[in-house]
Amino acid sequence: MGLVEVFLVAVGLSMDAFAVSICKGLGMRRVNYRHAVVIALFFGGFQAGMPVLGYLLASNFTGLVEPFAHWIAFGLLAYIGGKMIWDAAHEGPEGEQVEEDTQRLDMPELAMLSVATSIDALAVGVSYAMLGVQIAWPAALIGITTFCFSFVGVVIGNRIGARWERRATLVGGIVLVCIGIKVVLEHYGLLP
């Protein structure tokens, strides 16, 4: 498998993380580049690690995880998206949100989002194992590509969300739920 093919796979895998990064940026009053780097490291790290995990587990445990992977991704995305929708509907008037909420990252939530957006990378690792492709450099390229897309996504999300914070949070939650639904529909062949 050549560099172009692996890069296209990396771009495809990073799109869910990019969309979720935009959602994370929506909730920031101003761009916090340290947070953007942490978010990008989470998404890039999980996107790089999951193919390696899939590669290593390909022969032993694929049958155990694969039938449920789409439901796991859906559940995590629906939970986080639902929480964002709830928060947007139940916070005070626009601009009244407590400033310290935007000053820290929710690490458990970020870990769940990272897992949810990288489950498809696990399947890619399984595929690479079956094709006999060495996993080290594709995993690194997938991680770097996702890191870049995620960082840019946080910045873009902040630019959009700084003006319409509550509405943007609501839309971000809806987008996460829709991504979860898309994962399930793709699994059942209802979407290409």
Number of structural domains in the chain: 1
In a domain, 155, yes or no: yes
For residue 61, the enclosing domain spans: 3-7+17-187
Domain membership of residue 56 (yes or no) is: yes
Q: Is 12 contained in some domain? A: no
Does the residue 74 lie in any domain?
A: yes
Q: According to the model, what pLDDT value does residue 9 have? A: 85
- CA-based radius of gyration for the chain: 17
Mind giving me the DSSP string for 32-90? -HHHHHHHHHHHHHHHHHHHHHHHHHTTTTHHHHHHHHHHHHHHHHHHHHHHHHHHHHH
d(CA 49, CA 33): 23
* Position 145 in a domain: yes
What span, in angstroms and rounded, lies between the C-alpha atoms of 75 and 79? 6
pTM of the model: 0.72
Summarised one tens digit per residue, pLDDT across range 31-64 is 889 999 999 999 999 999 999 998 888 756 656 6
pLDDT of residue 116: 86
Summarize pLDDT for 98-121 with one digit per residue, the tens: 343 446 788 998 999 999 888 888
